[in-house]
Amino acid sequence: MTTPFGKAVRHLRDRKGVSQKEMAVALGVSPAYLSALEHGKRGMPSFDFLQRVAGYFNVIWDEAEELFRIAQISDPRVVVDTAGLPPEYTAFANRLSAEIASLPPETVRRLAGILEKACNNRVKPG
Q: So what CATH class is 4-72?
A: mainly alpha
The whole-number pLDDT of residue 120 equals 87
The whole-number pLDDT of residue 98 equals 92
**Cβ(67)–Cβ(59) under 8 Å?**
yes
**Cβ(77)–Cβ(51) under 8 Å?**
no
The whole-number pLDDT of residue 124 equals 61
Dist. CA 78–CA 27, nearest whole Å: 26
Dist. CA 47–CA 49, nearest whole Å: 5
Residues of the chain below pLDDT 70:
123-126
By C-alpha distance, which of 8, 10, 11, 32 is closest to 21? 32
The whole-number pLDDT of residue 100 equals 92
The whole-number pLDDT of residue 76 equals 77
Question: Has this prediction a pTM greater than 0.95?
Answer: no
The whole-number pLDDT of residue 77 equals 79
The whole-number pLDDT of residue 52 equals 93
Q: Number of helices and strands (H, E) in the chain?
A: 7, 0
The whole-number pLDDT of residue 3 equals 87
The whole-number pLDDT of residue 123 equals 67
